[in-house]
Structure 1
């Protein structure tokens, strides 16, 4: 599905080099959903952007053999001066989808009423997240990247999100970042702990969660 090949990623901050991934090679397999754990600052969101292709590594290569979503939780691809409807139309065209079908799905799923025709710079963070969820789910991806946003909105909306993702998981995979262990257990069947520039993969989620708790103690 996605393969990291000797990936090296770092940032320069205050004259120092912060290494996020230190020559990491890893194969995300199809038919598996991965929960990515790590302490604050470990580089989880950076990893998601690398997987999506919205950010490039300093060295190595990321290979994608599937249709990968943008990181859900990353709204940088939405134009703030466009309305929700206009953003939906733009995203549909970028991905070669039927704009009417995408807009219809987003209107029903996001449930933001007349705000669909208002520039999103006026939206609350919750409304932006609803729009982003609707847009992502309006398009069929082989793998959905989710960055710490599944609990957005009220309980009814959160339940709708889980129900929709449960349907998608019958034909698509998920790579998720979350600090909520219950959410990781609900969505994922493999665990990855990002620490010290390395990715430690576990077939047993409990083992990944145990290591994460030790690092976070």
Structure 2
């Protein structure tokens, strides 16, 4: 939770120029790859000199680390809020999926840049970011298990189901797939529910949950 507050504070402190740098970096990396993208090219895409870029980020690795935090700040913050809400786990899962998919969909290049960057998993310099990424799967697994305990989610392997859900992020990340986040949430819940006919009821309950709608939107 303290780390999430730190991420929120960082997001609030980002300048418009820093957001433009992240947007340009995400687009270039998603198209060319991390290794093939230089800070000089990122600076040129933003319209600033290379030294100006270093006023905001110390290196290309620092930019990539910031993209990881940017991609995960809202999904993890929502999970943190939902943990304190009294509601059935399946309702929380619906709301978390809705918030997470819609957040990613607003700036798909950010997640695309991370998905195609093997250095994130291979370079020990990104250990903190690897730890942050590893927080997502347990959020989903815990909600699925709780939903099973409550009788709302059918019998299946929670870890396998969580990994299938994570894979669905590709469908809102890559333009050639172009699947509506709402359709992905509906498809996922129908697959998970013990009684799919309850989906409208669960959707309404999820929409009614009172959680913060304030977040620093990913740079477009």
Relative to the length of structure 1, the TM-score reads: 0.26
More strand by share: 1
Relative to the length of structure 2, the TM-score reads: 0.26
More helix by share: 2
